[in-house]
Each structure stands twice: as structure tokens, then as C-alpha cells.
Amino acid sequence: MNKRPYVPTDCFFKGSYNPVYEKAIARGKSLCFRYNKLSPNARGAQKKILQKLFGAMGKEVTVVPPFWCDYGYNIEVGDFFYANHNTVIQDGAKVRFGNNVFIAPDCVFTTAEHAVDPKMRADGIEIAKPVTIGNNVWIGAGAVILAGVTVGDNAVIGAGSVVRKDIPANVVAAGVPCKVIRAITEEDKRAYPLYRGEYLP
């Protein structure tokens, strides 16, 4: 794995300009720019850039351009990861995705929180909190996942949701703010008649 500059995570950042952070962000943006200039079908070239960009990457990873992140190396994705157009990941802290994660278009994952106090905000105070997405998670179009959130295994996040608190495993959740609507049950398999024979007795 390539050596990457050390940037502390899950901590406060102070000051509008820090050369270490700026250099690391410039590297991430440059790789994103190169990635977004590729043909959408250039899977081999895409894989090489993602391997340089991400901190860890499983097998069968698809990120449909355009894609933007900050550092890149704070992002870890598992096997069979799919992110559709216009995914944005602000990875001042770790952003981890499990296996079989589907991300619809126009989703945002942000670890950053700025100070509410205006003087502190003007002084550049911000905190980065990690984001964790479990296995077999589907995140609907236009969802925003905020700093410090964990989404449990098998969860479904509805389109347009703003997720500011943890979502447990095995539920459908949606809304602004995002709330649990119901559990995922065996009855959900009946929504797809063509597949009943494969998934139901």
C-alpha cells in the first residue's frame, strides 16, 4: 500500500489553512479529477486510480463518475460495492462501507461538522467524526449521511433522507430527519413475483 501523509481523524481541526491537510486534499482531488476524466467504461484504469485513492478496497468495486472525495485514503469499501453518479464523500475521518453496499445517485457522506458558534466557525474550528455503513445496505438517491452515523447491516435508507443518528440493522428508514419506518421481513420477498420461486418455498 502506498504511504500516505498522516492526518489525524475524529478530532478538532483549527485554522483555515494547514499545509499538511491541504497537500493531502490536493492529492485526493487530483486523483478524483483524473478518475472523472476517464471513459465511464474504462474499468481497468478506474480500478488503478481507486486503488491509489482508497485506503482499502474489496473486489468488484464500481464507482460511476463523477465522484469526489477529500483525502480518499480514509475511505474503506468492501466487496461488491456500487456507487452511482455524483457520490460525494468528505472523509476527514474514516468512512467505512461493508460488503454488498448499493449507493444510488447524488448521495453525500460527510464526516465534517463545523462549530455552531460563529466566532469558532470563523476561526476554522471543525470536528471530523467517522461514518460506518454496514453490509448489504442500500442507500436511496439524494440521501445525506452526516458525521458520526452508523447504518446497520441490511438497512435500506429512503431517497432524500438526511441521516443524523444511527440506524439499526434490518430496517427501512427514511425522512428528514431519517427515522425507522419498519423492520425488513420475509414478506418483502413477495414484492418480486418473478423471484418467489428462488427466495420463497
pLDDT for the residue 189: 84
Higher pLDDT, 191 or 36: 36
- pLDDT digits over 110-148, tens only? 999 988 899 988 887 888 999 999 999 999 999 999 999
- pLDDT digits over 1-23, tens only? 444 544 444 444 555 567 888 89
Of residues 14, 37, 114, 189, which has the active-site annotation? 114
Q: Give yes or no for a contact between 14 and 123, defined as CB atoms under 8 angstroms apart.
A: yes
Say whether 85 is catalytic: no
Q: How many domains in the chain?
A: 1
C-alpha gyration radius of the chain: 18
* Cα 86 to Cα 68: distance, rounded to the nearest angstrom: 8
pLDDT for the residue 115: 85
Q: Grid coordinates standing for 30?
A: 487530483
* Cα 132 to Cα 195: distance, rounded to the nearest angstrom: 31
In a domain, 57, yes or no: yes
Segments forming the whole domain that contains residue 17: 12-199
pLDDT for the residue 154: 98
Q: What is the pTM of this model?
A: 0.88
Contacts of 85 (CB under 8 A, 6+ apart): 64, 65, 66, 105, 106
Distance, first Cα to last Cα, the chain? 46
- pLDDT digits over 68-94, tens only? 999 999 999 999 999 999 999 999 999
**CATH code for the domain of 96:** 2.160.10.10
In a domain, 7, yes or no: no
Residue 108 has pLDDT above 70, yes or no: yes
In a domain, 5, yes or no: no
In percent, the amount of the chain with pLDDT more than 90 equals: 74
Q: Give yes or no for a contact between 172 and 188, defined as CB atoms under 8 angstroms apart.
A: no
Burial 86-102 (b: 16+ CB within 10 A, else e): bbbbbbbbbbbbbbbbb
Among 115, 159, 154, 118, CA closest to 133: 154
Contacts of 97 (CB under 8 A, 6+ apart): 75, 76, 77, 78, 81, 133, 137
In a domain, 6, yes or no: no
* Cα 31 to Cα 50: distance, rounded to the nearest angstrom: 8
In a domain, 189, yes or no: yes
In a domain, 119, yes or no: yes
In a domain, 29, yes or no: yes
What is the arithmetic mean of pLDDT over 179-194? 88
In a domain, 146, yes or no: yes
